[in-house]
A = this chain, B = another copy of it.
Amino acid sequence: MSKTMIHLESDYNNGVHEAVLRHFLDTNDERTQSYGDDRFSEQARALIREACEAPDAQIWFLAGGTQTNATIIDCVLQPYEGVLCAETAHINVHEAGAVEFTGHKVIALPAHEGKLDLVELQTWLKAYFADETAEHMVRPGMVYITFPTELGTLYTAEELTVLHDICQEYGLLLYVDGARLAYGLAASTDVTLPLLAQLADIFYIGGTKCGAFCGEAVVFPKGNAPAHMLSRIKRHGALLAKSRVVGVQFEALFSKVEGNPLYLQIGSQAVMLAMRLRSIFVDCLGYPPFIDSPTNQQFYVIPNAALERLRQFIGFEVWCPVDDTHTACRFVTSWATTEEEVEEIRKM
């Protein structure tokens, strides 16, 4: 890639946050246990429990997002249960059928800017449980949401509370895919790690897109993981022998910087730059938002005539055509995006 390019294609086109890199250096000579029992993983767990105010939380580190979704969903569902989600959900679209590979149906409901409509969800559940043929249909066992969604949008604390209540009412697990959780927490005005730990049955704290090379931290906030998780994870091929590779990274990501976990700061910085990007695109260039995203994924409607010029300076992703002369494009900031890069765009 060209050196002068500003890379906003994705939040996984980079290396690791310098604090993570440093921690690799500092700990490389130590000998440790393996399969999750290394002291770095243990310390990372302690830091995450503290950040979530969930002292009983059980935490498992897996390598990637699709692996985490498929493994955990299969581990907690009954074999005959399926998982409800918005039709734009990652598990429904971009995981190559990894959930179905484990034998579970992904039951897609309409998506509204990436989110489930909670009334529609409730209506669906009511109809399912009233249906006399329900036993011949896949039983819903879980609601899956992404926070932030694939379109950068967020559920509010109130929405999450209602969702939690619906799940309780119908005996469903609430699972939150936090592949980009750092950016979601930074952008939300009322959703915090402790709130997630209260409302979700399971959630994962994404590492790969938030400063690590790889690794996602799965949290069962109430110590509610099923028995024999090590065996379950291993048979999914998801148990790392040298588990420190993720443990070291999460220890660094949840170490405190000015009183808060680095992870939160990573999110804030990227969201701040996303907002600055937005002011450039919307206010200066007059390119309206395609979706009103408060997080690090930004979508603007670009005149086709301007696309070629933009491409010379910025790496981004074409999302979809809007009309004959406009295209929606995605621009993603990350922990690795710099103020200088964004200012560079302003000058173009």
Contact = CB atoms under 8 A, between A and B. Distances in A.
A25 B22 CA distance: 9
Contacts of A137: 93-94, 96
Interface stretch (A74-82, A158-166, A298-306): A74-82
Nearest to A318: B132
Contacts of A156: none
- Interface residues of A, dominant DSSP: loop
A178 interface: no
B28 A13 contact: no
Contacts of A260: none
Given A21-B24, A82-B97, A234 B136 contact: yes
Interface in A23-50: 24-25, 27-35
A202 interface: no
Interface residues of A, number: 78
29 contacts: A7-B31, A12-B242, A15-B27, A15-B244, A63-B63, A64-B239, A66-B237, A66-B239, A67-B237, A68-B237, A79-B79, A80-B96, A80-B97, A80-B228, A80-B231, A82-B97, A94-B137, A95-B136, A95-B235, A97-B103, A100-B100, A100-B104, A136-B230, A136-B234, A208-B241, A213-B242, A214-B240, A214-B241, A214-B242
Interface of A: 1, 5, 7, 10, 12-16, 18, 21, 24-25, 27-35, 63-71, 74-75, 78-80, 82, 93-98, 100-106, 108, 133, 135-139, 208-209, 213-214, 228, 230-232, 234-242, 244-245, 315, 336
